[in-house]
Amino acid sequence: MLLFLAALYLSSSLIRAIPIPEALAIGVAELPSPTTCLCPNRRSVWDILWSCLTTIFACSWISIHPNIPAPCEIWWKISRRRLELMFWTLIAPELTILWAMRQWYGARSLAREYHGQGWTKTHGHFLQMGGFLLYKGDAAQETLIPETFKRLLQNGKINFPSITQEKIQDRSKGDGLSKALVVIQTSWFIVQCIARGVQKLDITQLEIVTLAFSLLNGFMYFLWWDKPLDVRCAVPVYLLDQPSQPITIGQDPPNDTDKSIFRRIYSSVIQISGLRVSFVSWCRSGPSQAWNTIKDAEILSKLLAAPVYLVFYLFTRPLDMSNSRRTLSSGGMRVSTFYSIDVGKDLYRSYTISASMAVVFGAIHCIAWSSTFPSDKERVYWRIASVVISSVPCTMIIAGSIGNPKADHSGKTFVGGIAKFAVEFMLVYLLAYVAARFFLLVEGFASLRKLPPGAYTAIEWLSFIPHI
């Protein structure tokens, strides 16, 4: 990881390192295009593109901390899962924040529960991400989720793992220095955007998009700072032939998952739409079973099966990111992609904070409200998309009040009525949100084709240094 980041930095430096001969004569007809810049106080489109791409890559690929894959899992399946995480980070980064928050609360809860055994949040993350694999003799049985881990300990069927925090961190592909480099890269980008604003220089739409990613990335890195990065192998834990002395540990936190915001929203959408088919099981059943469901229910024709499958996927996958606690089936060798333990009362707090971060994420795009766009239509579309991604999380908070145990769920009060109304149109909100996110991301790159002159002016850093 450290070598890769160093290579990115060096390649960026080499792009600007080629000297220009003084004797080179350039006629009027041979002037360079705006994409290339020969002036020290100017920047080119390639400079802007490179800076944004490296920062977006750092936020959406390097910063993501996936769970541990199954033993001997094919490399392309691991890569496909990593690409899916990158996709959702680009389209809905606040959902990645929500997943990270659930894991952070879960790791903290596990660290407190096993504090007497010397566990830290790193141990909690490691158990939660599928870091312990149960063996019976030489045969792997299943990945230990926290519930199974606790039950086996209480029954004396396994010894408590003696792995230290240092050994867990040694399995991680990212150390403190490599993480610091990513934080420095994103922080430096934020500083540049602030400096351009102070000097009244144009900030491109792509830089606005990247700025929003950078700010959320800092919070996400805080949540996952203690989680090992890209671990590929779990630690073996062996079943004992003779039960040992059971270990006394803390009690489980109160189960509050029935009050999950998105699960309640999901149930409400099903009731309102009148569909009796379970979205989640339908999407996970595979193409053949999905087609049989469509054919037997006579809902849609074969030509519409693929688009509907995609829509259901875009709707149900965020449900997993918001509250995925699926119990492993017997013999399961890895936890689910967005797994975390039940965090009890902290779940509603996670939803509220992540939705608030989503509002901030959308509001950042409003910085370009009065910026110069290649066309007036693009400016109008940008404004609409910015309002959508800023307002939808607000409706999620309102609808999420049904996940609050103290909230009125009947819809008879004013707040309850608003929450019920928001739930009824939740699917429309989500589809509009995804469409708006796609547009903002694509428009950020498309706007590079026609930038205002001020966008090519580089920052004069000397103006920030006090001098006479």
The closest alpha carbon to 158, from 125, 136, 126, belongs to: 136
Same domain, 379 and 312: no
Domain boundary among 268, 296, 325: 325
Q: Is residue 15 part of a domain?
A: no
Per residue in 165-218, pLDDT (tens digit) is 999 999 988 767 777 888 888 999 999 999 999 999 999 999 999 999 999 988
Q: Is residue 3 part of a domain?
A: no
Same domain, 171 and 94: yes
Mean of pLDDT values over 412-440: 73
Same domain, 152 and 235: yes
pLDDT of residue 342: 85
Contact criterion met (CB below 8 Å) for 264 and 424: no
Q: Is residue 157 part of a domain?
A: yes
Specify the amino acid at residue 422.
A
Contact criterion met (CB below 8 Å) for 417 and 411: yes
Same domain, 105 and 71: yes
pLDDT of residue 345: 78
Q: 457: which strand partners?
A: 42
What does the DSSP assignment read for 185-226? HHHHHHHHHHHHHHTT----HHHHHHHHHHHHHHHHHHHTTT
Q: Is residue 180 part of a domain?
A: yes
Same domain, 294 and 432: no
What total number of domains does the chain contain? Answer: 2
Q: Which residues contact 365 (CB under 8 A, 6 or more apart)?
A: 208, 209, 212, 382, 385, 386, 389, 390, 440
Mean of pLDDT values over 124-140: 94
Per residue in 259-296, pLDDT (tens digit) is 444 444 444 444 434 443 444 444 445 455 554 554 45
**What span, in angstroms and rounded, lies between the C-alpha atoms of 414 and 402?**
13
Distances (CA, A) of 330 to 134, 140, 145, 205, 423: 12, 12, 12, 49, 36
pLDDT of residue 178: 77
Q: Over the chain, what is the mean pLDDT?
A: 77
Same domain, 133 and 187: yes
pLDDT of residue 455: 94
Contact criterion met (CB below 8 Å) for 109 and 102: no
Kindly state the helix (H) or strand (E) to which residue 3 belongs, with its residue range.
Answer: helix 2-15
pLDDT of residue 23: 45
Tokens of 128: 């939660």
Question: For residue 326, which phi and psi values (nearest 5 degrees)?
Answer: -55, 125
The closest alpha carbon to 235, from 159, 343, 151, 345, belongs to: 159
Q: Is the pLDDT of residue 339 over 50?
A: yes
Tokens of 154: 């209480």
Same domain, 214 and 357: yes
pLDDT of residue 316: 66
Q: Is the pLDDT of residue 459 over 70?
A: yes
For residue 150, is it left (φ>0), alpha (ψ between -120 and 50) or beta?
alpha
Q: Is residue 172 part of a domain?
A: yes
Instruction: Please list the alpha-helical segments (H only) found in 36-162.
Output: 45-57, 75-91, 93-113, 121-128, 146-154
Give the residue with greater pLDDT, 313 vs 41: 41
- End-to-end CA distance of the chain, in Å? 44
Same domain, 350 and 320: no
Per residue in 4-28, pLDDT (tens digit) is 555 555 555 444 444 445 444 444 4
**What span, in angstroms and rounded, lies between the C-alpha atoms of 219 and 454?**
31
Q: Confidence band (pLDDT; 50, 70, 90) for 91?
A: confident
Mean of pLDDT values over 157-161: 94
Give the domain range for residue 285.
256-325
Total Cβ atoms within 10 A of residue 340: 28
Domain boundary among 325, 352, 381: 325
Q: Is the pLDDT of residue 35 over 90?
A: no
The closest alpha carbon to 56, from 176, 175, 201, 206, belongs to: 206
**What span, in angstroms and rounded, lies between the C-alpha atoms of 304 and 294?**
10
Same domain, 314 and 353: no
Same domain, 269 and 218: no
Q: Is residue 7 part of a domain?
A: no
What does the DSSP assignment read for 222-267? HHTTTSPSS---PEEEEPPSS--PPPP-PPPPPP-GGG-HHHHHHH
DSSP 413: S
Give the residue with greater pLDDT, 465 vs 304: 465
Tokens of 260: 């999950």
Specify the amino acid at residue 153.
L
Same domain, 402 and 280: no
Q: Is residue 150 part of a domain?
A: yes
Tokens of 343: 């965090």
Per residue in 220-260, pLDDT (tens digit) is 989 999 999 999 999 999 999 877 666 655 544 444 433 44
Domain boundary among 325, 357, 384: 325
pLDDT of residue 245: 63
pLDDT of residue 270: 42
**What span, in angstroms and rounded, lies between the C-alpha atoms of 319 and 463?**
49
pTM above 0.85, yes or no: no
Distances (CA, A) of 152 to 246, 328, 379: 9, 15, 59
Q: Confidence band (pLDDT; 50, 70, 90) for 452?
A: very high
Specify the amino acid at residue 171.
R
Residues 411/416/422/424 CA torsion (nearest 10 deg)? -10
Contact criterion met (CB below 8 Å) for 293 and 282: yes
Q: Is residue 462 part of a domain?
A: no
Tokens of 261: 């915001």
Query: What percent of the chain clears pLDDT 90, i.e. is strictly above it?
Result: 46
Mean of pLDDT values over 103-127: 95
Per residue in 299-338, pLDDT (tens digit) is 444 445 555 556 566 666 676 676 655 555 556 889 988 8
Mean of pLDDT values over 431-445: 92
Same domain, 77 and 133: yes
**What span, in angstroms and rounded, lies between the C-alpha atoms of 79 and 75?**
6
Give the residue with greater pLDDT, 397 vs 444: 444
Q: Could you give the maximum distance between any two Cα atoms of the chain, in Å?
A: 88
